[in-house]
Structure 1
Amino acid sequence: MAVLSRCLKHLLIPLIFLGIYSGGTLPAHASPTLETSVSETPVTIYSSQACGHCHIYVEEVVEEVLKQVGFENITIKDFISDQKARQELVELTQKLGIPMELRGHLAIFIDDSIILEGHVPIPVITDLLRLGEKRPFERIVVLQDEMHGAKSYKVWAFRGEIKEYPLDTPISQYLDWLQKNFSWVNLG
């Protein structure tokens, strides 16, 4: 019984913290609206099955959010136990030009255009997915690599400088900065 209680505690606390514990569905404000079907869009998640917090974050939180949005083509690879997956992750991050300072202990690639490194806040993920095809960027990487006590996240759209924001800052603040500083960006 104590083991079950401890497991539930480790599951419920992150869900409540991430703001998605609402009877099994995303809150109405977090439900992304995409213009096209995302069911076939490839999502590859590189994580470690040995990391209990990562396992909960990936399989109990992020994967659930992605499925509720409509993503069906989700692959989870254990890059710690699987040498082929580890090499694939290294090659992919190098090919895409992700700076070392934006690489986390787990990585989520959504069609290689949205790259989430570490434990990215769920509101940031849903806001990025909500953009659909009206993305003001070709590719973006968001990093929040701390498992406990995180205060901020970093973001970079492969243009300009890497920006850092407090955890509760919406990604729209970065997108506004991007639009203001790069005339090719159009959010409308």
Structure 2
Amino acid sequence: MNIISLPISHSTFQYVFDPVTGLLLEKEMKLKKISQQVPNKKLEKAIHSCNKPYLLRKGVFKNDDFINDIFIKFYVFALIKTCKVSFLLGKIAANFGRPIFDSSQEAIDYFRKLYPGGIQNDLCYPRSLFAASTSKKFAKEGVMFIGIFLPSKSMHAWIIEDGIQPDCYDNMWINFQPVAAIY
């Protein structure tokens, strides 16, 4: 998975996401417009979806049977633990995932069934990495975003896949401005 920083400006500051540490860097800047070259159409389409969320299609949410696979459960557990230690370690651990779900919607639904409740608010990054690494559609049609809520500098991760925001319980993402994309 590739990662690209999407710098943004607010007031007299520029915010840049560091793809190695996962930290948000703040720089004072002179007033100027930030222009960003988007490397491909998939990323351009996903950024457009974040900027105009009312154009997203509604997902069809299924309630499939729970897959009781010890490898997947261990993978989710390991992903959560490595993401808590380091942004980069989490991203590296995501490389061990294999596409087993048809879409990110199914992967996120599985993750939420495995770890239900309020704990999900703190698991947006591992949940998104899990969905990205286990979805069959993600490589072709998905982008994972990391966004910032200014001026608080809170961060959040979410996915846009094939014109759909696949997590029906994530209603926070719309308040965040993308500062990085993983695709």
TM-score after normalising by structure 1: 0.30
TM-score after normalising by structure 2: 0.30
Higher relative contact order structure (alpha carbons within 8 Å, sequence separation ≥ 6): 2
